[in-house]
Amino acid sequence: MKIVELSKDNYALYLQQIAEVHMNAYSKKHLTANFSQQKLEEYYRCLIEASELSSICLDDSSGQNEIGEPLVVGFVIAGSAVSKGVAKFLSLNRLYVFSVLLRKPRFLIEKFFVTIISIVKKSKPSAAKFRLMSISVRSSFQSKGVGKIMLDCFEQGLINHGIKSYGLSVRGENVRAVSFYEKNGFKLEKVSHDSKYYFKNLGQ
Ligand SMILES: CC(C)(COP(=O)(O)OP(=O)(O)OC[C@H]1O[C@@H](n2cnc3c(N)ncnc32)[C@H](O)[C@@H]1OP(=O)(O)O)[C@@H](O)C(=O)NCCC(=O)NCCS
């Protein structure tokens, strides 16, 4: 496996496969997994442009996709302002996202309750400014240690940049990801509605 850091010069080469990995790895319980391939590519373009540290994992042994490019088996998107990328995507695609919400009203109901709960019950913001926004591994490559390789490499990158801690949030029902994070040393920071917030210190 080979980890390649994404930059503004190379990310466009991998955007299509990043969207494919997302589609393949995330369950339809995630709103974004209901986006079209083209919208997911746009979504990741916005995220990567707003991110400070993102990478992909390539299968450099035998894997190639159908047009002969090295196969992207996973990716990590992270930074202190990736949410600005999400906001940019939403502002450019309001109608599209609304149409997905209409097709999948479950998300609309969820959003309604999350908004009400956040008004009624103010929760403390996470202590971690640097956020791991998304980590995904192609399903046929899961449970082979690829997630751990990517996470270790990502954390080495953070240490090299002088970043000593970071955080993430994950849906509580994403049992596999929750177990992955807990086994990789994350500490639960808070639980808010259906999301769990984790924090990891890289100091020791
Ligand atoms: C969460 C995710 C990134 C983990 O990636 P992964 O490559 O499967 O992770 P790893 O292989 O390093 O570890 C996962 C499991 O594989 C096991 N494993 C690791 N190396 C292994 C090996 N060589 N052989 C067999 N099993 C192995 C680990 O012990 C762990 O199993 P356990 O949780 O039952 O103990 C992946 O499941 C995923 O992409 N999920 C969908 C997207 C998602 O939900 N992302 C998180 C959103 S916040």
CA distances from 5 to 28, 95, 201 (A): 28, 33, 22
Instruction: Please check the confidence at residue 204 and state whether its pLDDT lies above 60.
Output: no
d(CA 86, CA 180): 24
Phi/psi-derived region of residue 145, left when phi > 0, alpha when psi is between -120 and 50, beta in every other case: left
Give the DSSP letter of residue 35.
Answer: S
What range does the domain containing 72 cover? 2-201
Q: Which of 133, 143, 175, 196 to mutate to test the pocket of ligand 1 (most atoms within 8 A of CB)?
A: 143
Report the atom number in ligand 1 closest to the C-alpha of 74: 39
In angstroms, what is the span from residue 147 Cα to ligand 1's centroid? 5
| pLDDT of amino acid 116 | 64
96-113: average pLDDT: 78
* Of 54, 53, 32, 52, the residue nearest 43 (C-alpha): 32
Decide if pLDDT at 75 tops 90.
yes
Q: Which residue has the higher pLDDT, 4 or 66?
A: 4
Number of compact structural domains in the chain? 1
Task: Give the bridge partners for 135, in sequence order.
Answer: 76
Instruction: Verify whether ligand 1 is closer than 6 Å to residue 146 (CB atom).
Output: yes
Q: What's the 145 CA to ligand 1 centre distance in angstroms? A: 6
Is any atom of ligand 1 closer than 6 Å to the C-beta of 139?
A: no
Give the pLDDT confidence score for residue 41 in this predicted structure: 97
Mind listing the pLDDT tens digit for each residue in 29-52?
888 989 999 999 999 999 999 999
For the ranges 30-39, 149-158, 188-197, which has the lowest average pLDDT?
188-197
Label residue 149 by pLDDT band (50, 70, 90). Answer: very high
Q: What percent of the chain has pLDDT over 70?
A: 88
**pLDDT over 60 (residue 94):** yes
Atom of ligand 1 nearest to the CA of 141: 7
Q: What is the CATH number of the domain that holds 117?
A: 3.40.630.30
Distance 121 CA to ligand 1 centre (A): 33
Q: Looking at residues 55-80, what average pLDDT do you find?
A: 86
| pLDDT confidence tier of residue 113, bands split at 50, 70 and 90 | low
**Does 136 have pLDDT greater than 90?**
yes
Q: What is the mean pLDDT of residues 16-27?
A: 94
Q: Determine the pLDDT at residue 120.
A: 63
